Structure 1
Amino acid sequence: MATIEPYGTKSGKRYQVRYRKPDGKQTKKRGFRRKIDAEQFANTVEVKKLTGEYIAPSMGRMTVGELGPKWLARQVHIKPSWAERVDSIWRVHIEPHWGARQLASIERPEVKDWIAGIKRAPSTVADIHAVWSMILDEAVEEKRIPANPAAKMDLPRRQLVEHNYLTHDQVAALAAEAKHSEIVMLLAYSGIRWGEMAALRPRDVDLERRRIRIMRSASKVNARSVIGAPKTWEIRTVAVPGEVAKMLHSVVGAQPNANGLLWARPDGEPLRPPTTTHWFGGAVRRCIAASIPRDEDGEQSGSATFPRVTAHQLRHTAASLMIASGAHVKTVQRQLGHKTATMTLDNYGHLFEDDLDDVAERMGGGLRAAALRCAQNVPTPPKLRVVSA
């Protein structure tokens, strides 16, 4: 049990509380002006020790600058691309602002103010908050602070981005203009990500069954390409149309090594995502120019009808073409590699809106049939017989 002892100072009588920490080591808390304050502190310590909520004051004196590097060193389980992002967030945003602060001194209101003051895109703010919250979660687990002051905060809403979707004809036009027409068709009709395409090997492609096994993904980390697990860490199989499988025959046949890359840069590295000077961007610009209406004199007489798309928007195109073909949301989810069908609906739910009329019509048909059955089952009232007096 804790003991309370008086002691003298130049300013007068004070009280100190001697108690044992959960590890059995003795410590003390000094500076109480009143004995009742010391007693309340002693009682609180004993209750927290019993409930497992006790936090040693010395543990909270560690600074964020001391804990942060230790936490970063433990993130051996995350993908290299995200590890680079986390390291950047720590160096640019968290360490300069919070590095000198003791963990126990951080209050929730000031964390809210800091988050609200970050003038970045909502997705960037969400990433910064996620990293900061994970560091503070570590402090809670190590019993340096009783609770995470950054937990469950309201963050800026991510703005909905309007996707550009290509039609079948537009995909064919883009493929005809592209250096690698087979890549355009593969992305637009399978929905796989650029990094997943760039990491494909002959062993991953089953042309007879028209299936592709997504086992890896290439990503750019600093100035180099790194091949690792897919984005969701889950291996999946996607289907491709027979026409796309035929286009891949020559590509697969040209790679004698089953473990070699189907497509590679001259230095042997995986293809990197398109830049403004990439062959993909050039093909898009030519399609846009060709879609501009012109009069008899060859002068432009309207706006381009071909949308400005990125390589990633071919993934959105694949989703729209699948949905237009009548694919179920779970099928689209599996093909795209989304973790849940909810994620698929969040991104492409508006493309299913045409089904509402069909649903309403089918439900109306059921309603009319039920009403007809009810009418047929109503008994006919007996006729009244009039008896003359």
Structure 2
Amino acid sequence: MATISKYTTDVGLRYRVRYRKPDGKQTDKRGFRTKKEAEAFANTVEVSKLRGEFVTEAAGRVTVGELWPRWIATKQGMKESYKRTLNVAYSTHVEAKWGAVPVGKVKRSEVREWVHGMAKSASVSRRAHGILAGILDLAVDDKAVHANVARGIPLPRKVRQKHAYLTVPQLATLASHAKANAGMVWFLGTTGLRWGEAVALRGKHVDRERRRIRVEVSATMVGSTLVPDTPKGGVARDVPVTKFALERVPKALPEAVLLPVPSTGRMRTYSPGSESWFSGALTRAQAEDPKIPDLVIHDLRHTAASIAISSGANVKAVQRMLGHTSAAMTLDVYSDLFEADLDAVADAIEAKLAAECGQNVGTGAAS
């Protein structure tokens, strides 16, 4: 049990609380102006020890910045591209606000104000919050704080952007204006491959007889360079490819790049956003067909999903083609493409009722 004693200072009477930490070592805290304050602190110490929540003041002095290297080191299994994203998010959004703050001084109200006052997209705000919360989880594990004040805070909601889809004729128009890169447009617009997956393909990944593409490598952006890495989700998959698309992609030797830079034959080693040929092709295609929406290369993946679904592919097949972790994810991402299914269900039920009831049930009046 804690003991309380008084002592005299130049500014008057003060009280000291002497107590034992969970490890049995004795320590004290002094400077309380009244005995009531000292008793309140002593009671708090005893209760926190019983609950397993005791934290020494010294432990709580470690800063968020001091724990950051340890936390990021736990992410060794992550893709290098995402690890770089975390480093940028920490240095840009977390370090300036929290780097020098002791973990024991981080207040829940201040975390909430920081998250919602960041004036950034929901994704950026949530990522920055996740870094701080992860560091504070480490502080809890180290008994530097007894609870993570960043957990459970309401976060900005992500608003899913409306996808841009091309019709097959529009895809053909875009491909015609892509000139030497027409094969890439057809390939992306019908297979649904991600950019990194497509540029990493080699001749050995194509089975032209079975019309299959084996996706087992993805070129991931690290800094300003694309480097080989595992596909998103870390799982290889087989993707169906049409004979039409294969005919527009030259055959390649097993180790040769399937979709290289047309002028050099080398692997494309830059991000999709820097593909100037695409913006030029899009501008020319829109001049021919003003109904073609503004889009980026990744939207060709959405176009492939749209074509597959409108052609009657079931959701599990589309999931496997796109490499989604579940059919539920596919339904969530492309919920707008399945709206027509509701009409089809209603039409099918009405046709069945009409056939089995022997009358046109659609003309009956409500009673």
Question: TM-score, normalising length from structure 1?
Answer: 0.82
Describe the SS at the equivalent of 1:31.
Answer: strand
Matches within 5 A, 1:112-151: 112-151=112-151
CA distance in structure 2 between the partners assigned to 1:213 and 1:174 by the alignment: 26
One of 272, 286, 290 as aligned partner of 1:288: 286
- Asked if the contact 1:163/1:316 (under 8 Å) is kept, the reply is yes
Q: Aligned equivalents of 1:24 and 1:363: distance in 2?
A: 75
Shift of 1:23: 3.2
- Alignment check: 8 A CA contact 1:4 1:38 kept: yes
Amino acid of the structure 2 residue aligned with 1:286: R
Report how far residue 160 of structure 1 moved. 3.4
* Structure 2 partner of 1:236: 237
What's the secondary structure of 1:180's corresponding residue? helix
Q: For residues 23 and 261 of structure 1, do their structure 2 counterparts lie closer, same or farther at Cα, with a shift above 3 Å needed?
A: farther
> Is the contact made by 2:215 and 2:238 (CA closer than 8 Å) also made in structure 1?
yes
Choose the corresponding residue for 2:292, options 281, 297, 306.
306
Partners of 2:346 and 2:16 in 1: CA distance: 75
- Residues 371 and 324 of structure 1, relative CA distance in 2, 3 Å threshold: same
**1:263 aligned partner:** 259
Asked whether 1:347 is paired with 2:348, we answer: no
Corresponding letter in the other structure for 2:80? P
1:234-276 per-residue CA deviation (whole Å, 9 max, x = no partner) reads: 222211123223434x332xx3xx3443234549554433446
Deviation for aligned residue 1:8:
3.2
Q: How do 1:177-216 residues align onto structure 2 when only pairs under 5 Å count?
A: 177-178=177-178, 179-216=180-217
Residues 153-180 of structure 1 deviation map (CA, whole Å, 9 limit, x = unaligned): 2233333322221111222222233212
Q: Which residue in 2 is equivalent to 1:377?
A: none
Give the letter for the 2:328 counterpart: T
Inter-partner Cα distance in structure 2 for 1:59 and 1:80: 32
2:338 is aligned with what amino acid?
A: F
Answer yes or no: is 1:101 the counterpart of 2:101.
yes
Out of 191-200 and 137-146, give the one that drifted further: 137-146
Query: 1:328 is matched with which residue: 304, 314, 327?
Result: 314
SS at match of 1:16: strand
Q: 1:9/1:336 Cα in 2 relative to 1: closer, same or farther (>3 Å)?
A: same
Residue number in structure 2 paired with 1:356: 342
With over 3 angstroms needed to count, the CA separation of the structure-2 counterparts of 1:51 and 1:368, relative to structure 1, is farther
Any stretches of 5+ residues in structure 2 without a counterpart? 359-367
3-state DSSP of counterpart to 1:15: strand
> Shift in Å at residue 189 of structure 1?
1.1
Deviation at 1:355, TM superposition (A): 1.3
Larger Rg: 1
Q: Distance in 2 between matches of 1:260 and 1:309?
A: 30
User: Are the counterparts in 2 of residues 263 and 271 from structure 1 also a CA contact under 8 Å?
Assistant: no
CA distance in 2: counterparts of 1:365 and 1:27, whole angstroms: 83
Q: Quickly say closer, same or farther: Cα 1:90–1:276, change in 2 above 3 A.
A: closer
Separation in 2 of the partners of 1:309 and 1:239?
A: 24
1:316-353 CA distance string (max 9 Å, x none): 10111111112222222221112233322222111111
Secondary structure of the structure 2 residue equivalent to 1:181? helix
TM-score normalised by structure 2 residue count: 0.86
Look up the match of 2:90: 90
- 1:263–1:351 Cα change, 3 Å: closer
Aligned length: 355
- Counterpart residue number, 2:221: 220
The residue identity in structure 2 corresponding to 1:14 is R
Cα deviation code 1:54-102 (max 9, x no counterpart)? 2222111112222223323443222111122111111122111222211
State, as a whole percentage, how many aligned pairs show the same letter: 44
Shift of 1:151: 1.6
Alpha carbons of structure 1 residues 277 and 336: separation in structure 2 relative to 1, 3 Å:
closer
CA gap of 1:290–1:267, structure 2 versus 1, over 3 A, is closer
- The residue type paired with residue 328 of structure 1 is N
Q: Alpha-carbon deviations, 1:121-145, whole Å to 9, x = none?
A: 2222222222222222222222212
How far did residue 21 of structure 1 move?
2.5
Looking at structure 1, the residues matched to 27 and 356 of structure 2 have their Cα atoms a distance apart, in angstroms, of 79
5 Å-filtered alignment, 1:35-46, equals: 35-46=35-46
- Looking at structure 1, the residues matched to 30 and 323 of structure 2 have their Cα atoms a distance apart, in angstroms, of 59
Q: How does 1:54-69 map to 2 (within 5 A)?
A: 54-69=54-69
Amino acid at match of 2:245: V
Shift of 1:228: 1.1
What's 2:361 paired with?
Answer: none
* Amino acid of the structure 2 residue aligned with 1:147: A
Whole-Å separation in 1 of the counterparts to 2:66 and 2:157:
32
Q: Would the aligned equivalents of 2:224 and 2:270 in 1 still touch at CA under 8 Å? A: no
Which whole-Å CA distance do the structure 2 matches of 1:267 and 1:37 have between them?
A: 77
> RMSD across aligned C-alpha pairs, in angstroms?
2.6
